[in-house]
A = this chain, B = another copy of it.
Amino acid sequence: MLIGTYTHDLDPKKRLTLPSKWRNDLGKKVVVTNGLDNSLFIFSVNEWGKVAEKLSTSGFGNKDTRDFNRFMLGNAFETDVDKSGRIVIPDTLKTFAKLSNKIVLAGMHSRVEVWNEDAWKQFTTKISGEADVLASKLNELGII
């Protein structure tokens, strides 16, 4: 299961090591694409299939879905995992998520999020203070 956070290096060749715990779940081929809140998303090919299916079934009649699909589908890269468990991050994605050397990988059950370390830290400190508020919101919605 894809959970937890790991801090890894993005080396000069733009290679990023996936945490060993996730390699079975992710498989030897993954999809990386633009994510939300300035992160990247990584999916196993299987999970990606579901996402792409949902996004594409809505057709091209609606401007919003058209735009979002360009964002998500249009920037998706399918890439192999090498023998050491690494993938290459294309320049476009690297730029989008403002990635530098230190990367945070956050497991979100069915996908992985890739963050610039500083951005993640900022986010974490912010969210720690709001966690109880969020919890009660979700509680009201019946989610938790």
Give the CA-CA distance A96 to B63 in the complex, in Å: 19
- Integer count of this chain's copies in the complex: 2
> Given A76-B3, A108-B73 in contact, is the A131-B56 Cβ separation under 8 Å?
no
Question: CB within 8 A of A70: which of B78, B127, B132?
Answer: B127
When each residue 118-144 of chain A gets 1 if its CB lies under 8 Å from chain B and 0 otherwise, what string results?
000001000110111011011000011
With A67-B134, A71-B131, A106-B70 as contacts: A55 and B144 at CB distance below 8 Å: yes
13 interchain pairs, CB-CB under 8 A: A3-B31, A3-B77, A4-B76, A4-B77, A4-B78, A34-B128, A36-B66, A36-B135, A55-B109, A55-B143, A56-B109, A71-B134, A73-B109
